[in-house]
Amino acid sequence: MVNVPAYFDLKLLAPRRILTGAGCRQALPSLLAEDGRSRPLLVVDPRLGTSPALEDLTLRLESALGPVPVTLEVPGEPDVECSEAIARVLKAGAHDCVIAVGGGSVIDAAKGAAVAATNPGQLVAYEGFDRFPVDPLPLYALPTTAGTGSEVTRVTVLGVHHPPRKISIKGARLVPTAALVDPDFLVTVPPRVGAAAATDALTHALEAYLRPASTPVSRALGLRAATMILRVMRDGADYATPANWSELATASMLAGLAFGNSDVGPVHCLAESIGAVYKAPHGAANAVFLGPVLGYYGNLVAEPLAEVARTVWPDELAGLDAAAATRRLVAAVDAYVAANAVGTLRSLCGGELDVDVIAALAETNNSNASGPIPMTVTDYRAIMVSML
């Protein structure tokens, strides 16, 4: 049985300010001034390359505050060492806030750094919910991929190496002070990476929407975000259009609010497990598992998924039942993942997949109980075997 609460507390965790739309990065200097922050450290995604939006942002910050130090040391899958290294830079420079410009890995690394900069000891000690005693430094998050939603969530997921696993540090105080969701940053994202990120965002939306214990607010946000993302997917595999960037950036943020006030579910349990063991990128890992897991749920989620699908394909699905509508949605996700060469389960695991290890890890994931049906090692194993 899946637990469903008797009533909901609709308190919504969100950044104090959320700006969304092309050019909203321009408001960052005035937000910093409002908050009395004058010594930011800029943590920039090293994969961003030459970005006109980043150049513009840097010029605006420097004209308001003078030279702003930049750090670029963030690996693709962030770990505690990386966050602690950035924290040392924050402390040495007496910085009073962090600006993160990057994908989810950079924002997560910056969240960890913001905690490590004000709290004693090592970050692993703060694994879990609200374990750190001192407020982190304020974080201003500017996502450059439309995927993780980390700019609005209360969690950072960081790797540790002995043994290899991911830890989650959570707490209301980890929600960034402000999120500036500017689609101009998406211009430099390679289509394959952007497509994987979009499917990650869709997974957040659908897992929050399908979770029985989600509040009505999370379900509404998830439903809206899912329809926005699926419309982009429906209209072709062409990721690289400004209209798509704008839709995906806003939808990803809404999806972040949806799961950030609820939870993810079994798709993420599998994705995080192959991320920990095989270093599979988070977005791509969710992308390959989303369709098969939704298919595995079958008719148990047909009605809610059909509500999404009928919004996206109203004419095509007229007169068809919920199961057919759900199959249409799953087929669209799988087609989008394939068209953008996001990868396959085997390719993401370097050709070596130990289904027993991954199934066991997935079952012990904190989000395992947040799916629409209870999932066991046997279920996870069956899903992966069906994909090989």
| Torsion angle defined by CA atoms of residues 138, 176, 200 and 228, in that order, rounded to the nearest 10 degrees | -140
Q: How far is the CB of 322 from Fe ion (least distance, A)?
A: 26
Q: How far is the CB of 203 from Fe ion (least distance, A)?
A: 6
Q: How far is the CB of 282 from Fe ion (least distance, A)?
A: 6
Q: How far is the CB of 262 from Fe ion (least distance, A)?
A: 13
Q: How far is the CB of 258 from Fe ion (least distance, A)?
A: 12
Q: How many residues bind Fe ion (CB under 5 A)?
A: 1
For Fe ion, the closer of residues 84 and 200 by Cβ is: 200
For Fe ion, the closer of residues 71 and 252 by Cβ is: 252
For Fe ion, the closer of residues 182 and 200 by Cβ is: 200
The footprint of Fe ion on residues 119-138 (CB under 5 A) is: none
For Fe ion, the closer of residues 71 and 203 by Cβ is: 203
* Among the residue ranges 13-21, 77-85, 155-163, 192-200, the one whose residues contact Fe ion (CB under 5 A): 192-200
For Fe ion, the closer of residues 108 and 200 by Cβ is: 200
Does 272 interact with Fe ion (rule: CB under 5 A)? no
* Among the residue ranges 60-68, 88-96, 196-204, 304-312, the one whose residues contact Fe ion (CB under 5 A): 196-204
* Among the residue ranges 183-191, 197-205, 295-303, 354-362, the one whose residues contact Fe ion (CB under 5 A): 197-205
Phi, psi (5° rounding) for residue 128?
Answer: 110, -160
For Fe ion, the closer of residues 61 and 290 by Cβ is: 290
Q: Find the residue with minimal CB distance to Fe ion.
A: 200
The one-letter code for the residue type at 344 is T
CA dist 116 and 201 (Å) reads: 27
For Fe ion, the closer of residues 23 and 76 by Cβ is: 76
Q: Is the Cβ–Cβ distance between 209 and 309 less than 8 Å?
A: no
Q: How far is the CB of 320 from Fe ion (least distance, A)?
A: 30
Q: How far is the CB of 32 from Fe ion (least distance, A)?
A: 28
Q: How far is the CB of 255 from Fe ion (least distance, A)?
A: 9
Does 200 interact with Fe ion (rule: CB under 5 A)? yes
Q: Is the Cβ–Cβ distance between 48 and 182 less than 8 Å?
A: no
For Fe ion, the closer of residues 90 and 152 by Cβ is: 152
Does 182 interact with Fe ion (rule: CB under 5 A)? no
For Fe ion, the closer of residues 41 and 196 by Cβ is: 196
Contacts of 79 (CB under 8 A, 6+ apart): 158, 159, 160, 161
* Among the residue ranges 122-130, 200-208, 248-256, 363-371, the one whose residues contact Fe ion (CB under 5 A): 200-208
Q: How far is the CB of 85 from Fe ion (least distance, A)?
A: 24
Binding site for Fe ion (CB under 5 A): 200
